[in-house]
Amino acid sequence: MVLSAPWWQGLIVVGSALVVSSVSLLYRYRQKGNPFGSLAAARWAIAAIVVSAAPATLALLLPRVPPAYLGVAVPTLLVVRGDRLHERGKPTEDAAWYKALTLGVRLLLDGLERQLETDRDAWVEAKVGPVGRLSLPALASILGLDALEEAIENVHSKLDGRPSMKKYSSRLKSHQKAGMDAIELARTAIKAGNDHTARREAHKAREALKKMLRLAYDSGNQSAVN
């Protein structure tokens, strides 16, 4: 069966809309996590892509509306983030026109972003490894602090200087310094017999390590710290 030209046009528009939606979504979340990094995230991502591309089908039923507009131009709005375009003092994604043009896809993106944060936190906890599983009393010991110091220095050495870390370099250095300073304060507290201070500073150092790992995840450098 040979499809007529309008149907061929429809297939092209729908296919283009899916491609544009996929590329726009990936661009939107560049260095923000992997929308297809987990099954749960992929479900949200695919739903957002399909819904944002749906107007292409609608356009075929509305001859007065150019299919290219609804089919390709609208999905491109997925690339717009609140930190890109503003009304005065108001993020773009809160604007009524943005919500209307994206046809409620904002709700799917909210779900995806929550899942990306969950995926990142799970990855960070896994990478902290044995250091992360130590209780505070064990962490606030000479051996625990040594392991924590080694972990912080290891992550810093693997990330520092990488081109993809350029925009994060100042924060990476800040977290690394905060972690090392906290470790030194914890060691001093141990010598002084101040367990409460030692535990507090050890906790700060572990949190600094987690912040460094979050930067590795956000910059797409997960493999660098494996």
String of DSSP letters for 139-158 = HTSHHHHHHHHHHHHHHHHH
CA distance 196 to 180: 18
**127 against 70, higher pLDDT:** 127
Contacts of 197 (CB under 8 A, 6+ apart): 185, 186, 189
State the average pLDDT over residues 53-59. Answer: 64
Q: Are 112 and 45 in contact (CB under 8 A)?
A: yes
Decide if pLDDT at 85 tops 50: no
Give the pLDDT band (50/70/90) at residue 102.
Answer: low
Give the pLDDT band (50/70/90) at residue 205.
Answer: very high
Q: Which of 7-16, 35-44, 108-117, 179-188 has the lowest mean pLDDT?
A: 7-16
Decide if pLDDT at 81 tops 80: no
State the average pLDDT over residues 16-39. Answer: 77
What are phi and psi for residue 30, nearest 5 degrees?
Answer: -60, 135
pLDDT, tens digit, 9 for 90 and up, residues 169-197 = 999 999 999 999 999 999 999 999 999 99
The percent of residues above 70 in pLDDT, for the chain, comes to: 70
CA 41 to chain centre: 11
State the average pLDDT over residues 123-145. Answer: 84
Q: Which of 52-61, 175-184, 196-205 has the lowest mean pLDDT?
A: 52-61
State the average pLDDT over residues 48-76. Answer: 60
Q: Are 146 and 122 in contact (CB under 8 A)?
A: no
Cβ of 171: how many Cβ atoms within 10 Å?
15
For helices 39-53 and 5-28, what crossing angle results, to 10°?
A: 140
H/E run at residue 87: strand 86-87
CA distance 134 to 167: 32
State the average pLDDT over residues 75-84. Answer: 48
Looking at residue 92, its pLDDT comes to: 43
CA distance 116 to 124: 12
**Predicted TM-score (pTM) of this structure:** 0.70
CA distances from 186 to 35, 117, 181, 208 (A): 39, 30, 9, 14
| Residue 52 tokens, joined | 């944002």
**7 against 181, higher pLDDT:** 181
Looking at residue 188, its pLDDT comes to: 94
Looking at residue 82, its pLDDT comes to: 43
Nearest to 128 by CA among 152, 164, 146: 152
Q: Which of 72-76, 200-204, 221-225 has the lowest mean pLDDT?
A: 72-76
